[in-house]
Amino acid sequence: MAVVRPFKALRPVPELVSKVAALPYDVMSSEEARDMVKGNPYSFLHVDKAEIDLDPAIDLYDPRVYAKARENLDSMIEQGIFVEENKPCFYIYRQQMEGRYQTGLVAGASIDDYLEDRIKKHELTRADKELDRTTHVDICNAQTGPIFLTYPVREDINAITEGIMKGKPVYDYMSEDGIGHTVWVVDDDETVRQLGDAFAQIPVLYIADGHHRSASAVKVGQKRREQQGQYTGEEEYNYFLSVIFPDADLYIMDYNRVLKDLNGLSDEAFLAALQTDFELKPHSGEGPFKPLKKHQFGMYLNGQWQILEAREGICNENDAVQSLDVSILQERVLGPLLGIDDPRTSKRIDFVGGGRGLKELEKRVNEGMKVAFSMYPTGIGDLMSVADAGQIMPPKSTWFEPKLRSGIFIHRI
């Protein structure tokens, strides 16, 4: 059963939360981050991407970057930008985007649940990225970016959450991208107990986003256990900072593909080869084509959109990974026809998250790329099925919006 527990969050004073809170460190380049923090010394990017305060030529993994992150965090605490809760609490974090809400519990999740697969994964991690965040957490002595977890919706948890949200929030603001952020502190002992008991009835949790951050938090916890020799399991490093959402609240957007070339094929040869596995027809509507169902794709080539419908029997519908649209495109088009054997490392493919819009695909092709594919979004049920089967999703399968903000909650370990 899933173990979650309250913690004493280090969090911004209310009047500065909108200046402190920042997008996750891995959704922007260092150059973009430097632009974002201009005129804002409070931005949490000074901690999460501390290279922005050093020479731009510095290697991202240079020890000075991690030392600067710790220095900046300590300085912000000393200045009173952050205050620590006086007792362990849960928190309710609600985000609002375009009239839709997602409401999650901010809590410490157990590294033992992670290690024993009661927190299920669906992605591989890269060693360099994992080492980066492991070092960051270890040097800062704190988890600074929350892991995005999910579970099958439960009405008892919803009822408790709704009751909490009738109270006054500690934060309520809108970020520059139009996302609403509202936070309630759950410090009532009985409500904390009820939430803990309710989550203890959930057999497993799922990582929706944040595989590198969770793996890194677990690595630090294991390191601390080895260093300490004896531990009780109650130490803070045995838990990692999480926001846990019911699956019904989550919104996965399409994650689209754009290619530099046709791998030496002529347009005619490429279109002919596609017809083995797909029915092709021109898109007669205005604007880009957004797929309406599974196994349907849009393709933008030579200034025109076409609709690709996967032929019957193209995949094993009983296989959680093979039946994903991202797998079909990879196994039937990108690999055999376009020579993209490993989309994680190929320089000939790029990925465009749904938040950028399909017009971005047209723009990229019109400005020099060759062909783009629009995708039907992967479902949260698909993600859970892959994780339950112990399988790995293809890279760039899911794009969650809105993104969790870093810097609203810090978990000291």
Q: What is the mean pLDDT of each run of 10 residues along the chain (413 residues)?
A: 93 97 90 94 97 95 97 97 96 96 97 96 88 95 95 96 97 95 97 96 95 94 93 94 97 94 97 97 92 97 96 92 95 96 90 86 96 96 94 88 94 95
DSSP code, position 330: I
ω before 402 within 30° of 0 (cis)? yes
Which token pair is 264? Answer: 């030496």
Question: Would you say 210 and 118 are in contact if contact means Cβ atoms under 8 Å apart?
Answer: no
Q: Are 223 and 334 in contact (CB under 8 A)?
A: no
Q: What number of CA atoms fall less than 13 Å from residue 386's CA on the CB side?
A: 24
What are the strands, taking DSSP E only, across 354-397? 371-374
Beta strands in 193-302 (DSSP E): 205-209, 239-246, 252-253, 255-259, 278-282, 296-301
Strand partners, 353: 255
How far apart, in Å, are the Cα atoms of 170 and each of 4, 11, 85, 204?
22, 11, 12, 30
Q: What is the pLDDT of residue 380?
A: 93
- Please tell me the predicted confidence (pLDDT) of residue 354: 77
**What confidence tens digit (pLDDT) does each residue in 335-348 have?**
999 999 988 889 99
Q: What is the mean pLDDT of the chain?
A: 95
CB 92 within 8 A of CB 184: yes
φ, ψ at 7 (rounded to 5°): -150, 165
Q: Strand 239-246 vs strand 147-151: parallel, antiparallel, or unpaired?
A: parallel
